[in-house]
């Protein structure tokens, strides 16, 4: 039985890694043990810190050029395939975009153990999904697979049989709420957020009991202190208490009720501090003229107590957002040396183009620098206040409503969107898939109607080279970043945005995928390309690695889509369609087509 093998595996891992696992394995201890074994890939980032690093070195920079396709699996679903599979022991679980199928696969012969396909109302759900029908991944704990369906239903499945054990509703598509995020499990709680900022949905992070799906706590991104789970005297921001009604004071009237700040990105966790970290998205609407104030706490990094949900610290990266620079990207937890001192840090590559390094204990801002030289909307971040210094020329509010602000860098999809970076403790570098895209941005007046788009801006996007006049037309870079100095170490230009999650390994190799469909392996120190293989469709999935029967494998989901590929995925043609992305990526259709395939690689023999 699969579950019996998993529990046995968890116990053996704990003994081998000197981790104390009691005779009755709790979800947290089990997940910790499973994630500490590099043979598994037991959560979205492999480990709670979200580093996407594996110490496996059977595949290394000396032999990676000999990789071959070991096997493939078709999901039978088109649209964008983000995220990646889970692997524990002999079993893999693969997810799809809407309709959010889940496949359990026996790795011994690649046969299907079971398939779960939820019954969702496509007519109610798909039209209110912002940027393709993507889904970013599953979670495992306590013999259960946790699936966050697009229609906001959170489901617990028996990992052995696929039986639906319980479900709970997290939102309402009729009001524009959907879900695309991968949940995580800490202790006896599974954490999930909400999507729908483009429909005026008010964001939150919610914790549900893994045994019955009951709500334990919910912390909102905007609104009254008690609903945000903020203690005004003990929640800190830039070293100071946030004070009473820190969110309410920054919104006009009751705008916070439809204020966005949705939480559709990634979640990480520090077991020693017992803190969950995540970011919040854009304020609603995209028209900044009609919502004066900082619009707290949208565009914000949160550190919450995992048990109670109480907020320890917050940091708002883009006050009064004027460009849709959602702050939901992953927060990688690492211990690095800064100015001669080892610090427990959180590293975040924001949509706004700045790479942030913060003390994850206190929220102190340590580094804030541009990780794409094309970024022009702000000159720098003031290290005393934490606020960006906005360039009036690129302020979409300064020009006024119905005025087109041109040549803003980055575009709304950011210098990096949801595609997660990786961190290697071997090199001390962060490996970041990025977008090299700028935009024109024209706000207009829009009224809020529940379940209807609440955007209020027309965008068009194009390569950053058009603004920088450097003669280039590439739309992406894959970079190595020094988070202590805030510097790019090396950079690889790519024709299209790099929308795939990165993987760093103990073999000195870093993997990533491209929108044309190439899986690439590069030297972790130099960025030299060591291997390339074109998969059946464009890659916006995250590269994973695991060991089965003593052999290391590399796997990646291909299936073009997501915001960058929305034109192909949804059949859109106008330059300003897809919230402005279609025009920038028109040439992509010459290089790849739709498809959903897991491609697994290994060395021969």
Judge contact between 396 and 412, C-beta under 8 A. Answer: no
Encode pLDDT of 303-317 as tens digits. 999 999 999 999 999
Rounded Cα–Cα distance for residues 431 and 322 (Å): 28
Domains of the chain and any CATH numbers: 38-602 (2.140.10.10)
Residue 19 confidence (pLDDT)? 30
Closest of 220, 240, 236 to residue 228, by C-alpha: 220
Work out the pLDDT band at 24, boundaries 50, 70, 90.
very low
Q: How confident is the model at residue 225, as a pLDDT?
A: 98
Region 486-514: mean pLDDT is 98
Residue 11 region, left (φ>0) first, then alpha (ψ -120 to 50), else beta? alpha
Tell me the C-alpha distance between 261 and 156, whole Å: 26
Q: Token pair of 467, please?
A: 């603004």
Residue 398: predicted pLDDT: 77
Cα–Cα distance between 371 and 389 in angstroms, integer?
A: 16
List, for residues 369-402, the tens digit of each pLDDT value.
999 999 999 999 999 999 999 999 999 997 767 7
Q: Which whole-number Å values give the CA distances from 199 to 172, 175, 295, 332, 452, in the listed order? A: 12, 7, 16, 29, 6
The structure tokens 């330059």 sit at: 575
Q: Please give the pLDDT value at position 472.
A: 83
**Active-site residue among 225, 294, 324, 350?**
324
pLDDT of residue 27: 56
pLDDT at residue 183 greater than cutoff 80: yes
Residues present in the chain in total:
605
SS3 category, 554: strand
145 DSSP β-pair partners: 140, 157
- Average pLDDT across the chain, whole number: 94
Residue 576 in contact with residue 515, Cβ under 8 Å? no
Confidence of residue 73 (pLDDT cuts 50, 70, 90): very high
Interior/surface letters 406-445, b for 16+ CB within 10 angstroms, e for the rest: ebbbbbbbbbbbbbbbbbbebbebbbbbbbbbbbbbbbee
| Residue range 207-235, pLDDT digits in tens | 999 999 999 999 999 999 999 999 999 99
> Distance (Å, rounded) from C-alpha 38 to C-alpha 31?
13
With a cut of 80, say whether residue 7 has pLDDT above it: no
Residue pLDDT, tens place only, 431-475: 999 999 999 999 999 999 999 999 999 999 999 999 988 778 999
Q: Which residue has the tokens 């070293």?
A: 239
pLDDT, average across residues 130-138:
96
Q: Is 441 left (phi over 0), alpha (psi -120 to 50) or beta?
A: beta
Determine the pLDDT at residue 28.
Answer: 79
Q: Determine the pLDDT at residue 3.
A: 42
Residue 202 and residue 221 in contact, taking contact as beta carbons nearer than 8 Å: yes
Count other C-beta atoms under 10 Å from residue 491's C-beta.
Answer: 18
Percent of the chain, pLDDT > 90? Answer: 92
407 has a pLDDT exceeding 70:
yes
Task: Tell me the whole-structure pTM to 2 decimals.
Answer: 0.95
Give burial (CB, 10 Å; 0-12/13-18/19+) of 70. Answer: middle
Q: What percent of the chain has pLDDT over 70?
A: 95
Is 321 designated active site?
A: no
| Average pLDDT of the segment spanning 23-39 | 79
Number of Cβ within 10 Å of residue 490's Cβ equals: 17
Distance CA 348, CA 358 (A): 8
Strand partners, 168: 154
- What was the pLDDT predicted at 468? 86
pLDDT of residue 25: 44
């Amino acid at each position: 039985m699969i579950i019996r093998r998993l529990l046995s595996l968890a116990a053996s891992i704990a003994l081998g890694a000197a981790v104390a696992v009691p005779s009755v394995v709790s979800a947290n201890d089990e997940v910790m043990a499973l994630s500490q074994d590099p043979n598994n890939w037991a959560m979205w980032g492999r480990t709670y810190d979200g580093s996407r690093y594996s110490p496996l070195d059977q595949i290394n920079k000396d032999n990676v050029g000999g990789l071959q396709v070991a096997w493939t699996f078709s999901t039978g679903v088109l649209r964008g395939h983000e995220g990646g599979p889970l692997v524990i022991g002999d079993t893999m679980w693969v997810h799809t975009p809407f309709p959010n199928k889940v496949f359990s696969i026996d790795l011994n012969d690649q046969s299907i153990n079971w398939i779960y396909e939820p019954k969702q109302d496509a007519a109610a759900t798909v039209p209110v999904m912002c940027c393709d029908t993507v889904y970013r991944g599953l979670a495992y704990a306590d013999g259960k697979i946790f699936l966050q369906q697009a229609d906001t239903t959170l489901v617990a499945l028996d990992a052995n049989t696929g039986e639906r054990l319980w479900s709970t509703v997290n939102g309402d598509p009729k009001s524009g709420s959907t879900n695309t995020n991968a949940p995580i499990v800490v202790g006896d709680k599974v954490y999930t957020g909400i999507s729908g900022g483009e429909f005026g949905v008010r964001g939150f992070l919610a914790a549900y009991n893994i045994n019955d799906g009951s709500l334990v706590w919910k912390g909102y991104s905007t609104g009254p202190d008690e609903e945000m789970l903020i203690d005004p005297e003990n929640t800190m921001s830039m070293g100071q208490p946030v004070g009473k009604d820190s969110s309410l004071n920054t919104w006009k009237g009751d705008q916070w009720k439809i204020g966005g700040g949705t939480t559709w990105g990634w979640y990480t966790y520090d077991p020693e501090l017992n803190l969950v970290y995540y970011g919040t998205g854009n304020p609603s609407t995209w028209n900044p003229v009609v919502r004066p104030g900082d619009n707290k706490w949208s565009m914000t990094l949160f550190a919450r107590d995992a048990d109670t949900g109480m907020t320890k610290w917050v940091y708002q990266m883009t006050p009064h957002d004027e460009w849709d620079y959602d702050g939901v990207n992953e927060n990688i937890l690492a211990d690095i040396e800064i100015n001669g001192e080892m610090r427990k840090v959180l590293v975040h590559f924001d949509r706004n183009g700045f790479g942030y390094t913060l003390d994850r204990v206190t929220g102190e801002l340590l580094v804030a620098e541009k990780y794409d030289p094309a970024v022009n909307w702000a000159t720098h971040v003031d290290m005393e206040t934490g606020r960006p210094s906005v360039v009036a020329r690129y302020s979409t509010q300064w020009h006024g409503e119905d005025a087109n602000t041109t040549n803003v860098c980055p575009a709304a999809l950011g210098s990096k969107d949801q595609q997660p970076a990786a961190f290697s403790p071997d090199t001390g570098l962060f490996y970041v898939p990025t977008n090299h895209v700028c935009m024109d941005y024209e706000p207009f007046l829009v009224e809020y109607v529940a379940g209807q788009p609440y955007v209020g801006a027309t965008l068009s996007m194009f390569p950053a080279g058009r603004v920088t006049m450097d003669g280039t037309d590439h739309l992406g870079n894959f970079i190595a970043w020094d988070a202590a100095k805030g510097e790019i170490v090396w950079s690889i230009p790519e024709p299209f945005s790099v929308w795939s999650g990165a993987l760093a390994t103990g073999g000195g190799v870093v993997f990533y995928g491209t929108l044309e469909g190439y899986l690439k392996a590069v030297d972790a120190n130099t960025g030299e390309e060591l291997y390339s293989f074109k998969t059946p469709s464009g890659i916006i999935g995250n590269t994973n690695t695991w060991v089965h029967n003593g052999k290391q494998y590399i796997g990646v989901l291909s299936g073009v889509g997501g915001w960058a590929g929305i034109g192909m995925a949804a059949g859109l043609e106008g330059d300003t369609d897809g919230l402005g992305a279609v025009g920038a990526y028109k040439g992509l259709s010459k290089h790849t087509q739709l498809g959903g395939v897991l491609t697994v690689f290994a060395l021969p023999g």
